Amino acid sequence: MKVIDLRLKRTCTFVFAMIFVVLVYSESVAQNGLTPLHVSEMDMVTSTVISDDGNYVAYTVSVPADPYKENSGNSTQLHVMNLSDGSSKPYYTTGSVASVQFRPGKNSLTFLTQRSGDNTRSLYELPLDGGEAVKIFSHDRNLLSYTWHHDGNHIAFTAFEEGESSSSPLPYKAEVFEENQVNRKGYITNVSREGHNPHQIQIPGSIYMIEWSPDGSKLAVSAAPTPTVDDSFMAQQVFIVDYRTREVAAEVNNQGKLGQIEWSPNGRQIAIRAGRDINDPIDGRILIVSAEGGTPEIIDHDFEGKYEQIKWTGNNEITFYASRGTSTVLGTIRPNGSNKQILFNGERYNIGSFSRASNGTISFVASTPEHPNELFVRPNRRNAQPERKTDHNSWLAELDLGKQEVIRYSARDGEFEIEGMLIYPVGYEEGTRVPLIAMVHGGPEAHYSNGWLTGYQIPGQMAAAKGYAVFYPNYRGSTGRGIEFIYSSQADLAGKEFDDVVDGVDYLIERGIADENRIGVTGGSYGGYASAWMSTYYSDRFAAAVMFVGISNNLSKWGTSDIPDELYLVHSRERMWDSDEKWMDYLKRSPIYWVDRAETPILIMHGAEDTRVHPAQSLELYRHLKVRRPHVPSRLVWYPGEGHGNTRASSRLDYSYRMFQWFDTYLMTGDSSAEMPHWDAPVPTRD
């Protein structure tokens, strides 16, 4: 008994000493590191459009609400930069704007907003040479999108149709699920004629994108049979509509996901950014089709990347920005797929969107490992490098950030080399083993680029300031690596894709960076699925987990998600009810099946109004843990009013502090038997 007591005493002494060292180290590096409060105050550039003459750049800035005053979403402000003298000023900051465009033939900008006194979101115009924003068009329902005819007078726009109202005499309204849903409809109107009644485009179903032909005689329109999320993802078809009759003149036989429609300058061809086929998880390929309709043909089929945005800049040239591995590139390609040229290879940039003027000047939004999204401009000069034009978080330069690098390692089956990023702790000394957080992205059709990798639920530099390393794996099924790589995870839920994550952890342990006894995991959506999987099936490898809007039961997931067809077409490629064996296979690919292995303390968080991954997915895992593994620390947190991810300031800050409270308790110490932290979020009072 004395021997056992002595061992216990030594163990406790070691644990307490380790906790003391860890806390002292964490406090010392955190004094000048990034905190959740910093993240809650960050402004970010979200979009940019350059004038056709290249003289002005309009850009939007996302400004967070004060989380201590209101739990509301970010506002989006409009700024304009004069490239001739580099001056920039806010043009509209009294409310949120959307769809900023230069009005053809006018010295003005237009945008959508809803001001005080407006019944609906309307179209406003603001002169570039100064003055007040003036409402130039409103509809009896909110404008969802709009696009200008080259004459600067006509617009095509989308808005929801009017829904049928209940005739019940009761002072109560029941919600009938998935019935009486209203479609998005398309309209054409002349905003220069007062009282002009909009003409409806004659396409059944729900309309999403509308693009005028260069001569204004036709429109390319995408529409889905119903307004369901599933159809918006998987069933949008392109139609060519005659401007005068508003009726369909031709059809494009596209299949699968659709992200963009672009006319060639001569109006003879259309480029679409879409999926290769109905089973492609992303809209990341370029396909070309005649403006007279037909079947689009994919170009650059073997590109091991993802096309993110395209724009015709000549009858024989398309400018693009694309993800390629962990980097992003700007370039040009001919519509037959030949003569591909890279204008800029951003190995340390994560480009978000671009706009190109007639003189070749390009404005774009991008982040780097040192800062979130800012505005950049690339002049039209050979080998020109982009110039950063904004600095919305200048205080970042005063903080210590952890080093960020791209890493590559071999998957255990030898099929692929896996890429990812690693952020080291602030002040990291080579050869030191540190606690590691694996940050698993959702999708799985998504990926991390080598830019800014910190957000309210992405630990990044906040974790680095506390002494953690953070690992961002682009496991198989991720985008940015071409068709073979993204298709490789289909019909293998939680299989080799999640093994890739564990292989990356092993690689970092072998390099002497990660402490094998202090490995954590977090992620949202499919990354939440991974977090649940690592804390059950792979529980012996992970010391702590934070699961966000994640999947725990693939059987009930099918019956509660708003995208059952997408789940089948681009993920599972099979129906689980096709045989008894498949039912069992889906159950075995569910974390709840492996709960008897669970030893990993897990914090589960979920938006209470989530329709993509129903909150019951989190409740199921929590209940299984409480009944089957009551000794394992587990906690479930709901976020009222939030859906598939938190969008509001207070709930975001609350999430950040809960996440680190959990990791600090179980991961930093490596003590899975530690008492659960207090149920309340440890959000500090503000000075």
Note the pLDDT of residue 86.
85
Encode pLDDT of 242-283 as tens digits. 999 999 999 999 999 999 999 999 999 999 999 999 999 999
pLDDT at 642 over 90: yes
Q: What is the pTM of this model?
A: 0.93
Tokens 């110039």 sit on residue? 387
What is residue 570's DSSP assignment?
Answer: I
Q: Is the CB of residue 212 less than 8 Å from the CB of residue 186?
A: no
pLDDT at 30 over 60: no
pLDDT at 17 over 50: no
Tokens 């985008």 sit on residue? 479
In terms of DSSP bridges, do strands 417-423 and 404-410 run parallel, antiparallel, or are they unpaired? antiparallel
Q: Average per-residue pLDDT in the chain? A: 93
3-state per-residue secondary structure call for 208-257: EEEEECCCCCEEEEEEECCCCHHHHHHCCEEEEEECCCCCEEEEECCCCC
pLDDT at 537 over 80: yes
Note the pLDDT of residue 5.
42
181-217 CB burial, b ≥16 within 10 A, e <16: eebbbbbbbbbeeeeeebbebebebbbbbbbbbeeee
For residues 661-674, average pLDDT: 96
Q: Residue 195 — pLDDT band, cuts 50, 70, 90? A: confident
pLDDT at 9 over 60: no
Note the pLDDT of residue 14.
37
| Cα torsion 496, 643, 222, 336: sign | negative
C-alpha of 283 from chain center: 14
pLDDT at 10 over 80: no
Q: Is the CB of residue 257 less than 8 Å from the CB of residue 272?
A: no
Note the pLDDT of residue 60.
97
Encode pLDDT of 334-374 as tens digits. 999 999 999 999 999 999 999 999 999 999 999 999 999 99
pLDDT at 23 over 80: no
For residues 441-466, average pLDDT: 97
pLDDT at 285 over 60: yes
Query: Which tokens is 229 given?
Result: 């999320």
For residues 631-636, average pLDDT: 98
Return the minimum-mean-pLDDT range out of 13-27, 291-305, 571-585.
Answer: 13-27
pLDDT at 504 over 90: yes
Encode pLDDT of 97-131 as tens digits. 999 999 999 999 999 999 999 999 999 999 998 88
Return the minimum-mean-pLDDT range out of 6-15, 214-223, 445-454.
Answer: 6-15
Note the pLDDT of residue 22.
45
For residues 64-78, average pLDDT: 95
Give the CA distances from residue 392 to residues 50, 61, 352, in Å, rounded to whole numbers and listed in that order.
19, 9, 16
All domains of the chain in start order, with CATH: 404-666 (3.40.50.1820)
The letter for the amino acid at 268 is: R
Query: Which tokens is 192 given?
Result: 């220069």
pLDDT at 145 over 90: yes
Note the pLDDT of residue 31.
66
pLDDT at 376 over 80: yes
How many angstroms separate the CA atoms of 471 and 426, rounded?
Answer: 14
Note the pLDDT of residue 472.
98
3-state per-residue secondary structure call for 353-366: EEEECCCCCEEEEE
For residues 393-399, average pLDDT: 96
Encode pLDDT of 606-616 as tens digits. 999 999 999 99
Return the minimum-mean-pLDDT range out of 355-364, 381-390, 637-646.
Answer: 381-390
Q: Residue 67 — pLDDT band, cuts 50, 70, 90? A: very high
Helix (H, G, I), strand (E, B) or coil at 591: helix
Encode pLDDT of 415-438 as tens digits. 999 999 999 999 999 999 999 999
- Among 339, 425, 343, smallest CA distance to 386 is for 343
